[in-house]
Every structure is written in structure tokens, then in C-alpha cells.
Structure 1
Amino acid sequence: MHRGCNLSWFVEGQGVPVVLIQGSGVGANGWRPQLDALTPRFQCLCFDNRAYGRSVPSAEPLSLELMAEDVLALMDAQGWPSAHLVGHSMGGLIAQYVARRARARVRSLALLCTFANGKAPSRLTPWLVRIGLRTRIGTRRMRRRAFMEMVLTHEELSAADPDTLAEKLGRLFDRDLSESPPILMQQVRTMARADARPFLSELAGIPTLVASAEHDRIATPDSGRELARGLPGARYIELTGTAHAMTITRAAEVNALLTEHLAQAERNFHSATPVAR
């Protein structure tokens, strides 16, 4: 229990501590495509953000600061003085707020399909209005299809049976893709009020990977590049031919990037840590 919320979480693997933070409308199981690759070398903590999935009730109004506190509370519960943070979409923004609040506890940042300005992914462009409406009207099958069009490229969607793919994604998202839980819009509004750009320079020196997807229309590559520019020393990578769900559709490539980044950041962490005598 933290600040009135029974946070739901699990830990898998052995070794170096890593906290994986999901975005809006996705639960802890959204990291399943990463866990098989990471858990042989890393101890991975995954959780449902407050008010989503099994992390209920929310008790307090959502804020990025409160969700960052949740991450630190989970690290405390696990007995971790510090950890590497991996965040996707809103989870990447949360990770930035964790680093601002408790820099010494963050060994590195891996920010995937994300942004520094929370308004960026929620701007009411004509495309977002159209796709948003389609996720809420029509048959369940039509709504699932619209949601997948929002996070996948046309080629990724065409390469699989849509019903089978919707079922697979639903298991990872911990919900039927045809349904929009009420907390989803609260998460989006909370995200839109957050802006990490004023404090990004304070995070200089934290080993950081920023990875965007070429065709992501939620966390655009422009947003990723802006984020990387604001983080002195950050490494920017852009995966071609994929979109917002690249952690699922391009898991092997994402996992290779994460493994390399975490291993190098951990070496840096130990080389910088004074040896007790």
C-alpha cells in the first residue's frame, strides 16, 4: 500500500535491479516480450500503474509526481537503494520524474517511444480524433482493429490474422482492446499536464538511451529527438518500419538495445562507485 493504493507488482529474474514502467492503458504484463531476454542477467520489477489493472484504488488524484513516488516505494519494498529504469510512452515520462526526484537512486534510463512534453502525444490532430472515435464506436472487432491501427504500422497489422493479433495484444495489455477503461483518459489528462523539459539538464550524467519508432504517431520521432537533445550525453536510436508497439513487434531488436545499454550502464555504475576499505 502506498498513498492509498494497493500497488500490484511482480519481480522475475536474478541479478542487477531494473524497474520497467508501462504507459497509459497497459499493465505489467506488457513487458512480457522483454522478460525472457532480460531476466537471465537482470532482476526485473514490473507493476500496474496506480488505478490501472490490479493497482486499485487510486485514492488520490493522479499526477506524474505521485506515480514517480510509486516507483520509489516499490524499490523500497524490494530493498533496492538504486535501479535501472526502463519506461515506455507515459512510463518514460514517469522515469524522468523519478530521476528528478531521486537522481542518486537511478543507475540509468532507457526511454522507449516517449517524450519530455506530455502534451505532445495528446494533441488533438485530425488523425487522433478519427482514430480515437473509431476505438469507441462500432462492433468490438472494429474497435479492436482501430486500436491496433493506432499502435502498429499497416505492414505489421497486415502480416498477421487481426483477431489472433488482437487476442495476443489483449493478453499483454491486460484488457480487451475494444474497451477503454475510465482511468485511461485520466492518465492521458495527467500526462498532458506534465513537462520534463525544464529539468532535463539536471539529469546530465545519467546513462540514457532514447529509442523511437519511425512511424510512431503517438510518441513521434521528433519528440524522441527533442528528448535526447535535452538530456546531455543521451544516445538516440530510431527503429525503422515500426510504430508505438515496437516493444512487442520488434522485441528482439529492442531487447538487444536494452541488454547492451543496461550492461554498459552497470559497468559505468560500478567503475564510478567508491570501493569500501
Structure 2
Amino acid sequence: MTLSYLRQSTPHRGCTLSWFVEGDGPPVVMIHGVGIGAAGWRPQVEGLASHFRCLCLDNRGFGASQPLGGALTVELMADDVLALMDAQGWSSAHVMGHSLGGLVALALAHRAKERVRSLALLCTFASGAVPTRLTPRMLALGLRTQLGTRRMRRHAFLRMVLAPDELAHADRDALAEQLADLFGHDLADQPPVAMKQFGAMRRADSTPYLREFAGLPTLVVSATHDPIAPPSAGQALAAGIPGARYVEFPNASHGVTLRFAEEVNALLKEHLDSAEASRQAAAPARAGER
């Protein structure tokens, strides 16, 4: 399938949201986290677009989704996603979220569970207090991404999102250039909206309403070496959602969707196919109730 990644725009609540949609099949919305936009989902779109219709957006204030349009909250970002679903005429969709995007997906499901066919929560957490805590490791990693030469900052960023084994024999300069294309910016630079995104994430907590997602097909994915969303956070998230499936990638870190795309895509397709099959099986029962 030939993919164009043709950008479209939709004005919503003070921001012109930038997004693209690719593929054919049941609808899927993909939401990224801090400092990365729609392009970061290209590895997943390339693997799933032959089976699903994938919508990816730049979160407000990032990339081409400008201006910010007011105080940033996870709830506002969830409302943005619902507005784009409305623009597509989608009454419901499968929803995927990575990192901060996972909190947005949970907020969307809390507000409008009937519009969510399934959840895929990748390298994320129930509470934004987890990734914003100042542990010694995160403090050291964060400082290294802000100090030194541009090359040093790029290499420090790689250590934050990739596992040690991935970096051991890698050409780090080439890797930083490759990831910059997906992140939508030089890894030496922090996008202006990043601190506002961190603030929105820090204030968000889905823990009180996780149990309401019982019956909603949910996949939770963690990576063993992730310092931002450690496996303990993914395990707690999965434990809080009745029936959720938990999968951990042992040789990966926060960038698992980018670096292990083939394996992640196979897992996502299995999850989406299963959710669609369950939905189709339930359709006659729902019709009978009417």
C-alpha cells in the first residue's frame, strides 16, 4: 500500500490541529506523548494500514498543530481527539496512546467509553506523577539532554529512550538523525511546548477510574529498560483495569514502538483483530436487545 501522509487541518478550541489518515479498515486513533508528533507513528502505520484506517495527529502546541490555544490539559487533548473522530464521521475507534498519549487515551475513554473499541497503552502509566518524579536516574538523564554540545545532548537523549544493548554498537550520530525524522525535531532541542506537556502530564491521574474500563479490550505494553514508564507502572496500570493484557519487551526502552516496530505491530494487530472479532460477535446480541 502506498502511503502519502498527506496533512489535513481541523480548527478546534483555539488550535488548528494537524493530522493525517492512512489505510483501510476499522478506525484506529494513535496519540503520542511529549515532544513527538504524528510522524512518530509512521512505523506502526506502515505495519497496520493495510488492515486498519489509522489517524495520527500532532498534539496541540506541537509541530503543525498551532497555536496552543490556552492552558494545556490531558482532558483538552482528549477532546481534540474526539473532535477529529467527529470530523472523520467515526462514532467509535480503537485508541492507542504512548507515554503521555496513554493518559490522553484513558481520559478519552473515561469521558466517552462508548466511543472506544479498545485501548492499547504503550510505555505509559496510570498517573503522571510516575514519569515526572525526580529520581536520581531521571535527573541525571534529563540534565544530560540539556547540557553540553548539541552532539552530546543528542546522545544523552538516545540513552533516555533506547536500551543499553541497542546503543552498545550503534552509530549514535546516524541513529539520532534517523529518530529526528520521526520525532519531528533535532534530538538536541526540546520543543517549546514540552514543559507545558510535562505539566499537563504531572497533573493527570486516571487511577480513580481504571476499574470502569472492565469489558473494554485493553493491551498494556512496557519495556524492561524504560526509565520514563518503568515496567512497575505498566504492571500497576494493567492490574487496575479488569481483564487487561500485559506484555513486556525485555530488550527495549521507551522507544520500543520505533525500534521494535515489527514485533510491536504484530502484537497490536493481534490485539485489534481480537477486539474487532469480539465486537462483531456482540453485535447480534446488541441488536436483539433493541
- TM-score tier by shorter-chain length is over 0.9
Letter in 1 for 2:247: I
Root-mean-square deviation (Å): 1.1
Deviation of residue 159 (structure 1)? 3.3
Pairing partner for 2:135 from 114, 119, 125? 125
CA distance in 1 between counterparts of 2:243 and 2:164 reads: 34
Deviation string for 1:143-177 (max 9, x for gaps)?
00000000101111123211110001000000000
Is 1:265 the counterpart of 2:282? The answer is no
Report the more deviating stretch, 207-216 or 154-163.
154-163
CA distance in 2 between counterparts of 1:133 and 1:244 reads: 18
1:27-176, aligned counterparts within 5 Å? 27-176=37-186
- Percent of aligned pairs with the same amino acid: 58
Deviation of residue 182 (structure 1)? 2.1
SS at 1:7's partner residue?
strand
Pairing partner for 2:199 from 189, 197, 207? 189
Deviation of residue 244 (structure 1)? 0.4
Equivalenced residue count is 277
Is 1:6 the counterpart of 2:16? The answer is yes
CA distance in 2 between counterparts of 1:58 and 1:182 reads: 10
CA distance in 1 between counterparts of 2:15 and 2:169 reads: 40
Letter in 1 for 2:220: V
Report the more deviating stretch, 124-133 or 47-56.
124-133
Is 1:217 the counterpart of 2:227? The answer is yes
Letter in 2 for 1:201: R
Pairing partner for 1:235 from 226, 239, 245? 245
SS at 2:12's partner residue?
coil
CA distance in 2 between counterparts of 1:10 and 1:97 reads: 22
Letter in 1 for 2:157: F
SS at 2:173's partner residue?
helix
SS at 2:146's partner residue?
coil
Deviation of residue 129 (structure 1)? 1.3
Pairing partner for 1:226 from 209, 217, 236? 236
Is 1:249 the counterpart of 2:256? The answer is no
- Structure 1: gaps of 5 or more residues: none
TM-score by length of 2: 0.94
Runs of 4+ aligned structure 1 residues displaced above 6 Å come to none
Deviation of residue 130 (structure 1)? 1.4
- Structure 2: gaps of 5 or more residues: 1-10
CA distance in 1 between counterparts of 2:169 and 2:216 reads: 39
CA distance in 2 between counterparts of 1:123 and 1:69 reads: 26
Letter in 1 for 2:111: R
